[in-house]
Amino acid sequence: MTLKKVGFYILIMCFTLKINAQHPDKDSLQDILHGLQGEERLKKLNELEMKYLYQPKSLDYGNLLMEEAQKQNNYYYQYAALNIKIAYYRFFATDSLVYYAKMAEELTSKHKLYSELFLIRQMLVLNYLWKGYYNLGLNKAKEMYMEAKEINDPEALASAQLSMGDAYLAMERFSEAIDCFKEARNLLLLAKESQNPIRLLNCYTGIVTTYTEQGNLEAVWPYMDSLRNETLRVKLTCPDVNPVDYEITNLLCYASCYMAINHLTDAWATIEEIDKRLEEEPLPYYRLLLNEMKMHYFYLRQDYEKMWYYYGICYRFCSDNNFVKKLRTLLKFKAETLYKLRDYEESAQTYKQLQQHADSLNLAIHYYEIEQLRIDYELDKRENEIARQKTEIKLRFSFNLILGTLALFLLIAIGIIWTNLKSIQHKNFFLFNQIKELTQTKIELLAFKETLRIRTDPQLCAASEVYDGLYERVEEYMEMKKPYINSDYGRKNLIADMNTNEVYLSKAIRSAVNMSIQEYINSQRIEYAKTLLLQDMNQTIESVAMDAGFTTIRNFYRLFKETYGMSPSEFRNYVKKNLVGDKHNTADEQ
């Protein structure tokens, strides 16, 4: 078998860049990042992850870069971290690739980074093609092209054309692939302000690969010169890009062409140069392509022992990484080679194995088609849900507008009522005081009547004198000691202080002021709190309540309002207002 399909895999390898990172002087990450802040810190983490490109360690640095970029709200480096993960998973784990690609799509769509968005989708198409899902990859490329036409972005259109060219090349539709690659090249050449040398290099790589597989060697060599020139231009204009990837790709193309025209000496010299480059920078994917190139080389030299050796290396690598398309290519090569060597039985067995791979590939393609239908259904469902939510939002807005208007009128009405209530409350304060005075007079008359009854009864008279004496002791003790300012002071404490029992003390206080023991203690606290309110107008209500012995401000407010018919703050404001009014009246009289 000839070099068919080798070029296609060479083309796939040229889409992932490798940044030429300086090796840090210290191995400790903490020492490396010490003193770096802001974008300098992000840049250093990006260099570290690019240093270990394609290696598992790049994922660790990618996670650190993502965390730091999210803290700094830097979407450019968030995209860079996701791009590293996509580069790592692009051949091995389709699910992981799709997951991170979706995240990158959301990020680039949000910030309108169309060039980066289509580069991510280009990676997805290449992954589908590498796994052998040609129709799925072609459909995705066509979707990219339609979307790129809508936004009219030259680089996006070029990416879509490149993806379509890759799909047609994988399906061996060479003329259509050539048209797509040339159209992408023309788009990039016309759009000088957005010209990307790396994408141009990809265009020339696709053209060279397609002509090589087609067997049109006369058309290959002029584009080989263009490919070499573009590789040099990338080295000059993109100093951050490691040229090793593209130089190896260039050399692989040359080796394919040399073997196609049977210049085996030049081909082997080129293969040795590639081998030397890969020893300096171990890239497993290029190593696979190089081993496949060696397999074809020894096939042409009819050195079948070495050919089968490199075939085994390639087959094991593809089996371990589930490269279905590559496995089919290798099996087809094996079957055709065995047939030419007249080992018909083994050739037939290999063809059966190849058919099994084809059946499993068809099942996988069928699964992806079903998955695509499911995704389309979810998208339609989401669009319907969004439309329903928009309708609900409009209805809710109308309802809230009406409700807000009603609430505004209600607040105005409440404000008017509140103002009038305040006025009525101040006017009724005098009435409340008069009622209180009348009530107090009534209590005094009842007490006087009870006193007369007691004094006319000798037995009650003796008891009354005892109660009066006890109450006087309580009054004197309360006035001098003020034990009620202690919040823990209560009924039992007063009984103990008076050295009496609860029955005598209760009757003494009840006969004098018609209160229970606890009510009497609270009344003393209220009177003391009133004194504090008037002594210092700047003292807070909470402080007054605590100084008067109340445990909770709520209890203080309740008892004060029951006693004076208004809250402590209203009482203080009322007294302050009357004091000011009295001063003005006195000044007017003078």
- The structural domain count of the chain equals 2
Q: Is residue 479, in this structure, part of any structural domain at all?
A: yes
Question: How far is residue 535's CA from residue 56's CA, in Å, rounded to a whole number?
Answer: 77
Question: How far is residue 465's CA from residue 508's CA, in Å, rounded to a whole number?
Answer: 10
Which pLDDT value is given to residue 543? 92
Domain boundary among 246, 264, 282: 282
Q: Is residue 492, in this structure, part of any structural domain at all?
A: yes
Q: Per DSSP, what are the bridge partners of residue 241? A: 19
List, in sequence order, every beta strand (DSSP E) within 329-465: none
Domain boundary among 224, 259, 282: 282
Full-model pTM: 0.50
pLDDT digit string (tens) for 365-384? 444 455 555 566 666 677 77
Which pLDDT value is given to residue 460? 44
Q: CA-CA distances (angstroms) from residue 511 to 158, 454, 493?
A: 104, 11, 20
DSSP code, position 550: -
Q: Are 525 and 544 in contact (CB under 8 A)?
A: no
pLDDT digit string (tens) for 428-460? 666 666 776 777 677 667 656 655 665 555 454
DSSP line for 155-175 = HHHHHHHHHHHHHHHHTT-HH
Q: Is residue 402, in this structure, part of any structural domain at all?
A: no
149-154: average pLDDT:
82
Cα angle 101, 106, 110; round to 5: 145
Question: How far is residue 90's CA from residue 101's CA, in Å, rounded to a whole number?
Answer: 10
Q: Give the residue from 425, 417, 515 showing the smallest Cα distance to 475.
A: 515
462-487: average pLDDT:
79
Q: Are 144 and 121 in contact (CB under 8 A)?
A: yes
Query: In this predicted structure, which of 13-27, 57-71, 350-364 has the lowest mean pLDDT?
Result: 13-27
**Tokens describing residue 68:** 């730091």
Q: Are 198 and 234 in contact (CB under 8 A)?
A: yes
Mean pLDDT of all residues in the chain? 76
Q: Is residue 53, in this structure, part of any structural domain at all?
A: no
Q: Is residue 542, in this structure, part of any structural domain at all?
A: yes
- Higher model confidence: residue 520 or residue 425? 520
Residue whose pair of structure tokens reads 């040099």 in the numeric block:
232
Q: Is residue 541, in this structure, part of any structural domain at all?
A: yes
Domain boundary among 282, 302, 322: 282
Could you tell me the residue range of the domain that residue 510 belongs to? 457-589
User: Which domain CATH number covers 478?
Assistant: 1.10.10.60
SS3 241: strand
Which pLDDT value is given to residue 9? 42
Q: Is residue 540, in this structure, part of any structural domain at all?
A: yes
Q: Is residue 237, in this structure, part of any structural domain at all?
A: yes
Question: What does residue 25 show for φ and ψ, rounded to 5 degrees?
Answer: -70, -30
Confidence bin at 525 (pLDDT 50/70/90): very high
